[in-house]
């Protein structure tokens, strides 16, 4: 079977009446995503990069004359691959001999494409490592706060985003009450990093409902509640979930409805938390009335749900979005404390979970394919940043930042190379990032389209789309392996990253070390054989390639994966967690010992600078939420038919409550401007009575397209979001703590503007 595999699923390749290739849903996928069906339309899109391009004054005057001021403002000149490879190799050599390899930033965060071999970051990092190394980055935008917090609270086994949740079949069989803070945004489950052959999350949620699992969703928007029976939506102010959780903890304490024996055996630090709950030091009882005043949830509701969490076999799920906020560690820690008090942790399908439906894999009862990656080699440079500190890194050479109990020195970055990520999609405060991006001497970007990041480069290397190359596609959280076979040739002048880097490696004199004398087919066979060594039941490579896919345990009843919390609960001494106490740390001496002002020893409510209760809210009246887009993957496929079709007048949609729309005197479809001291962005109003008044929802992924006045016509919420970290512990991204104002927009819409705004490439 001819298959093409992506982060949003696997597609069958066929031919249309006009003889052109087209994508069709994969026959084995019960719930295929529409998102990718139009992927091939991007192949000859006008914004495609078709040749290596160099910014004119960089090419003519070199990296030091004029530095980066023209970046993002000047035109590009096409060069051939030999010239481009020579420029890149010379520049790498110059920077490393003048400043040392730590002056090269190659962190390159981003999702790139599915596929084990053409993995953009691995390809680049392998090349940079052979060139002496680079300053790197750690953690993710997805799970930045939780990924640092949870190893302290639950142990090092719980760093990965998908490892805490019980499996869906255990939930369906055993759980009676599923409480979701941040809800279950099912459009997100279309996606899986590394791909999948089978979308199942929606089906599992339905099965839970059929079995009578009651679902309660706390969210500022009703659309986070799934359709179907037994669902209750409770609106709350953004960023206040931890106050609700703490109010529930107080309720359980006050009413004596908590599992004292579990807390004693399996947790540590409850006493300190208890003292906080009753207000021993500050005189404030963190009761339901207190939580209600912060969150807007009626006190009776908080008490009722708290009692139910204790009385029924319950599971508390927290969406990842909650930790993409100021003090984003707190709702995760709070949920663990609350679930521990209910006493259901370690009971089948109960306790706590993080990110059910955030991606397809969380909770899937499958054996996972942990396969070999394309080897990046070793990086001799020790400098790194937590991934979301990129602006500070560029702004503040020689500076220092706190991180997880350490102090990190920020090297002086002279060369920046990004491949497989789009910081002008993903990072916060994009106008500030643009200034920071003008500081290094050279910026190189490997991309397939003229993203805002590519436009900010000096050297742009054009990259083949994933449908223009063969790859072995598998996710380490899934049981599907797909042979993704090229659908068409890339345009002349465009290479797969690996091929481009072979040319550069050749100029650097490390060609053999880079490609090990293997052609791409050899690499694919080599990677696949790595899987077969671990899973001997897989077919041989030629059979796999001709069938197009292989599935672990195909056709068998999914084995329920072992739930470590069950054995821990049964015998915490024999099967301890890998925390200092061996138990769940409701208070953490380690975190306390760091002495950070923005995270303490136990879960607590801390007031973000930007939320609806902040003094700043009298100036900027809306809390802006920026969830994941339903019709594309981040900024990818923005020009695909699904994403374009979801726009209104060519604009991204911002969703408002009817009350706010009335007050702003805007109607459905009107253009409006969202603004704060960081930027201005245009979007089209969509009115939804499910949105809480005071909240505006603008999904991510619109392409940052500032006009001459700095107004973004692409609808990217990160024009407005702050770079503030969740805390000094994680230094994680926190875009969901953002206040903004809104007014009607009377200027021209993006359709009229678009032509004028295209700058850079000809």
Ligand X SMILES: Nc1nc2c(c(=O)[nH]1)N[C@H]1C(S)=C(S)[C@@H](COP(=O)(O)OP(=O)(O)OC[C@H]3O[C@@H](n4cnc5c(=O)[nH]c(N)nc54)[C@H](O)[C@@H]3O)O[C@H]1N2
Backbone φ, ψ for residue 129 (5° rounding): -65, -40
Closest CA to 148 of 590, 607, 722, 736: 590
Closest CA to 419 of 134, 172, 217, 693: 134
To ligand X, the closest distance from the beta carbon of 330 in angstroms equals 11
Say which entry of ligand X, Mo ion, none residue 185 contacts (CB below 5 to 8 A, set by partner kind): ligand X
What is the Cα–Cα distance from 162 to 66, expressed in whole angstroms?
A: 47
* Closer residue to ligand X in complex, CB, 117/531: 117
Say which entry of ligand X, Mo ion, none residue 579 contacts (CB below 5 to 8 A, set by partner kind): none
Say which entry of Mo ion, ligand X, none residue 633 contacts (CB below 5 to 8 A, set by partner kind): ligand X
What is the Cα–Cα distance from 220 to 222, expressed in whole angstroms?
A: 7
Supply the residues annotated as catalytic: 109, 111
Q: Which stretch binds ligand X (CB under 6 A): 87-95, 407-415, 624-632, 754-762?
A: 624-632
Looking at 321, 479, 655, 727, which residue binds ligand X (CB under 6 A)? 321
Beta-carbon count within 10 A of 260 CB: 11
479 binds ligand X (CB under 6 A): no
* Residue list 495-554, contact with ligand X (CB under 6 A): 497
Q: Measured over all CA atoms, what is the biggest interatomic distance in the chain, rounded to whole angstroms?
A: 75
* Closer residue to ligand X in complex, CB, 54/538: 54
Looking at 125, 214, 324, 647, which residue binds ligand X (CB under 6 A)? 324
* Closer residue to Mo ion in complex, CB, 142/167: 142
Q: Which stretch binds ligand X (CB under 6 A): 68-76, 91-99, 194-202, 313-321?
A: 313-321
Looking at 11, 117, 141, 327, which residue binds ligand X (CB under 6 A)? 141
* Residue list 320-379, contact with Mo ion (CB under 5 A): none
Q: Write down the number of H helices and E strands in the chain.
A: 25, 30
Pairing assessment for the beta strands 177-181 and 314-318 based on DSSP bridges: parallel
Looking at 71, 389, 621, 634, which residue binds ligand X (CB under 6 A)? 634
User: Residue 670: helix, strand or coil by DSSP?
Assistant: coil
Say which entry of Mo ion, ligand X, none residue 179 contacts (CB below 5 to 8 A, set by partner kind): none
* Closer residue to ligand X in complex, CB, 197/238: 238
Count of residues that interact with Mo ion, criterion CB under 5 A: 1
To ligand X, the closest distance from the beta carbon of 652 in angstroms equals 12
Q: Which stretch binds ligand X (CB under 6 A): 166-174, 390-398, 568-576, 630-638?
A: 630-638
Pairing assessment for the beta strands 459-462 and 53-55 based on DSSP bridges: antiparallel
Backbone φ, ψ for residue 217 (5° rounding): -120, 120
Q: Which stretch binds ligand X (CB under 6 A): 51-59, 179-187, 202-210, 676-684?
A: 179-187
User: Residue 402: helix, strand or coil by DSSP?
Assistant: strand
5 binds ligand X (CB under 6 A): no
Say which entry of ligand X, Mo ion, none residue 322 contacts (CB below 5 to 8 A, set by partner kind): ligand X
To Mo ion, the closest distance from the beta carbon of 538 in angstroms equals 29
* Residue list 416-445, contact with ligand X (CB under 6 A): 419-422, 425-426
Residue 485: burial class (beta carbons within 10 Å; 0-12, 13-18, 19+): middle
* Closer residue to ligand X in complex, CB, 313/634: 634
To ligand X, the closest distance from the beta carbon of 237 in angstroms equals 8
To Mo ion, the closest distance from the beta carbon of 374 in angstroms equals 21
* Residue list 350-389, contact with ligand X (CB under 6 A): 358-359
According to DSSP, residue 251 is labeled H
What is the Cα–Cα distance from 269 to 586, expressed in whole angstroms?
A: 5
* Closer residue to ligand X in complex, CB, 579/700: 700
To ligand X, the closest distance from the beta carbon of 528 in angstroms equals 19
Report CA dihedral (607, 612, 615, 621) to the nearest 10 degrees: 160
What is the Cα–Cα distance from 54 to 444, expressed in whole angstroms?
A: 9
Provide the strand spans (E) within 414-560.
415-419, 442-447, 459-462, 471-474, 480-484, 549-551
Cα 513–chain centre separation: 33
71 binds ligand X (CB under 6 A): no
Looking at 32, 349, 365, 627, which residue binds ligand X (CB under 6 A)? 627
Contact predicate 732/144, CB 8 Å: yes
| Distances, alpha carbon 668 to alpha carbons 315, 648, 658, 660, 686, in Å | 38, 10, 9, 12, 5
625 binds ligand X (CB under 6 A): yes
Looking at 135, 137, 463, 581, which residue binds ligand X (CB under 6 A)? 463
Contact predicate 273/603, CB 8 Å: yes
Looking at 81, 218, 312, 450, which residue binds ligand X (CB under 6 A)? 218
Looking at 635, 679, 706, 760, which residue binds ligand X (CB under 6 A)? 635
To ligand X, the closest distance from the beta carbon of 638 in angstroms equals 8
Closest CA to 629 of 579, 532, 697: 697
Backbone φ, ψ for residue 447 (5° rounding): -150, 160
* Residue list 117-146, contact with Mo ion (CB under 5 A): 142
101 binds Mo ion (CB under 5 A): no
199 binds ligand X (CB under 6 A): no
* Closer residue to ligand X in complex, CB, 365/420: 420
Beta-bridged to residue 316, according to DSSP, are 179, 352
475 binds Mo ion (CB under 5 A): no
Contact predicate 687/742, CB 8 Å: no
Q: Return the CA Rg of the chain.
A: 26
185 binds ligand X (CB under 6 A): yes
Q: Which stretch binds ligand X (CB under 6 A): 263-271, 315-323, 478-486, 503-511?
A: 315-323
575-584, long-range: CB within 8 Å, 24+ apart, which pairs? 577/154, 577/155, 577/157, 578/151, 578/155, 578/156, 578/157, 579/152, 579/153, 579/154, 579/155, 581/268, 583/265, 583/266, 583/267, 583/268, 584/153, 584/154, 584/266, 584/267, 584/268, 584/336, 584/340, 584/345
Looking at 68, 194, 490, 629, which residue binds ligand X (CB under 6 A)? 629
Contact predicate 28/439, CB 8 Å: no
* Closer residue to Mo ion in complex, CB, 146/175: 146
3-state percent helix, strand, coil for the chain, nearest multiple of 5: 35, 20, 45
Looking at 48, 71, 118, 653, which residue binds ligand X (CB under 6 A)? 118
Looking at 484, 636, 643, 676, which residue binds ligand X (CB under 6 A)? 636
To ligand X, the closest distance from the beta carbon of 223 in angstroms equals 7
Q: Which stretch binds ligand X (CB under 6 A): 391-399, 510-518, 626-634, 743-751?
A: 626-634
The set of residues, in sequence order, having a beta carbon less than 8 Å from that of 451 and lying 6+ positions away, is: 422, 424, 425, 635, 703
402 binds ligand X (CB under 6 A): no
Q: Which stretch binds ligand X (CB under 6 A): 180-188, 404-412, 544-552, 595-603?
A: 180-188
To ligand X, the closest distance from the beta carbon of 639 in angstroms equals 11
To ligand X, the closest distance from the beta carbon of 621 in angstroms equals 17
To Mo ion, the closest distance from the beta carbon of 635 in angstroms equals 12
Closest CA to 7 of 165, 189, 205: 189
Beta-bridged to residue 172, according to DSSP, are none
* Closer residue to ligand X in complex, CB, 268/357: 357
The residues of the shown chain that bind Mo ion, judged by CB under 5 A, are 142
The residues of the shown chain that bind ligand X, judged by CB under 6 A, are 110-113, 118, 120, 141-142, 181-183, 185, 187-188, 190-191, 218-221, 224, 236, 238-239, 241, 319-322, 324-325, 358-359, 419-422, 425-426, 446-449, 451, 463, 497, 625-630, 633-636, 700, 717-718, 721, 735-736
């Amino acid at each position: 079977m001819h298959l093409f595999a992506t982060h949003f699923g696997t597609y069958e390749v066929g031919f249309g009446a006009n003889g052109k290739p087209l994508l069709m849903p994969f026959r084995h996928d019960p719930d295929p995503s529409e998102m990718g069906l139009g992927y091939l339309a991007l192949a000859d899109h006008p914004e495609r990069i078709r040749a290596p391009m160099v910014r004119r004054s960089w090419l003519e005057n070199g990296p030091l004359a004029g530095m980066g001021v023209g970046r993002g403002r000047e035109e590009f000149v096409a060069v051939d691959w030999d010239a481009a490879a020579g420029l890149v190799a010379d520049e790498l050599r110059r920077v490393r001999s003048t400043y040392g390899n730590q002056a090269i930033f190659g962190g390159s965060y981003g999702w790139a494409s599915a596929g084990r071999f053409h993995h953009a970051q691995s390809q680049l990092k392998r090349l940079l490592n052979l060139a002496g190394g680079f300053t790197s980055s750690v953690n993710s935008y997805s799970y930045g706060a939780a990924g640092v917090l949870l190893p302290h609270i639950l142990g090092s086994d719980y760093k990965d985003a998908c490892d805490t949740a019980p499996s869906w079949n255990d939930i369906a069989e055993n759980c009676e009450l599923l409480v979701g803070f941040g809800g279950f945004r099912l459009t997100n489950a279309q996606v899986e990093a590394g791909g999948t052959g089978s979308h199942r999350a929606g089906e599992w949620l339905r099965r839970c409902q059929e079995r009578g699992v009651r679902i309660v969703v706390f969210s500022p928007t009703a659309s986070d509640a799934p359709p179907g029976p037994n669902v209750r939506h409770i609106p709350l102010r953004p960023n206040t979930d931890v106050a609700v959780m703490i109010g529930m903890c107080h309720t359980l304490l006050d009413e004596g409805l908590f599992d004292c024996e579990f807390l004693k055996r399996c947790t540590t630090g409850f006493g300190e938390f208890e003292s906080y709950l009753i207000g021993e030091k500050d005189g404030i009882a963190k009761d339901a009335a207190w939580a209600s005043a912060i969150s807007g949830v009626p006190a009776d509701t908080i008490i009722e749900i708290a009692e139910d969490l204790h009385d029924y076999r319950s599971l508390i799920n927290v969406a990842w979005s909650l930790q993409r906020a100021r003090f984003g560690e707190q709702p995760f820690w709070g949920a663990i404390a609350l679930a521990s008090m209910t006493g259901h942790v370690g009971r089948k399908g109960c306790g706590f979970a993080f990110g059910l439906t955030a991606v397809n894999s969380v909770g899937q009862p499958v054996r996972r394919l942990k396969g070999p990656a394309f080897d990046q080699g070793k990086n001799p440079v020790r400098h790194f940043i937590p991934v979301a500190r990129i602006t500070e890194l560029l702004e503040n050479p020689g500076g220092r930042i706190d991180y997880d109990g350490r102090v990190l020195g920020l090297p002086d970055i002279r060369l920046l190379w990004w491949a497989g990520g789009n910081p002008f999609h993903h990072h916060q405060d994009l106008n500030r990032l643009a200034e920071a991006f003008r500081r290094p001497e050279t910026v190189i970007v490997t991309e397939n389209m003229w993203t805002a990041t590519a436009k900010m480069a000096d050297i742009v290397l054009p990259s083949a789309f994933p449908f223009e190359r063969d790859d072995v596609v598998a996710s380490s959280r899934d049981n599907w392996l797909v042979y993704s076979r090229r659908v068409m040739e890339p345009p002349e002048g465009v290479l797969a990253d690996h091929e481009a880097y072979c040319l550069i490696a050749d100029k650097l004199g490390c060609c053999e070390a880079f490609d090990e004398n293997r052609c791409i087919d050899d690499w694919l066979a080599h990677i696949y054989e790595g899987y077969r060594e671990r899973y001997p039941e897989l077919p041989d490579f030629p059979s796999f390639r001709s069938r197009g896919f292989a599935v672990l345990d195909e056709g068998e009843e999914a084995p329920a994966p072992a739930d470590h919390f069950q054995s821990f609960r049964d015998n915490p001494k024999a099967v301890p967690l890998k925390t200092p106490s061996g138990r769940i740390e409701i208070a953490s001496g380690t975190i306390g010992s760091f002495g950070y002002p923005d995270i303490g020893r136990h879960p607590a409510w801390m007031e973000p600078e930007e939320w609806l209760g902040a003094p700043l809210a009298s100036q900027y009246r809306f809390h802006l939420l920026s969830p994941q887009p339903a019709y594309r993957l981040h900024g990818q496929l923005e020009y695909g038919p699904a994403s374009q079709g979801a726009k209104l007048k060519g604009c991204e949609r911002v969703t408002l409550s009817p009350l706010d729309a009335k007050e702003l005197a805007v109607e459905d479809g009107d253009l409006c401007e969202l603004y704060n001291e960081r930027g201005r962005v245009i979007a089209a109003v969509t009115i939804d009575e499910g949105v809480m008044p005071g909240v505006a929802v603008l999904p991510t992924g619109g392409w940052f397209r500032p006009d001459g006045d700095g107004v973004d016509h692409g609808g990217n919420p990160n024009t407005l979001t702050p770079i503030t970290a969740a805390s000094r512990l994680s230094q994680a991204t926190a875009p969901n703590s953002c206040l903004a104002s809104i007014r009607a927009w009377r200027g021209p819409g993006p359709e009229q503007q678009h032509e004028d705004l295209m700058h850079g490439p000809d």
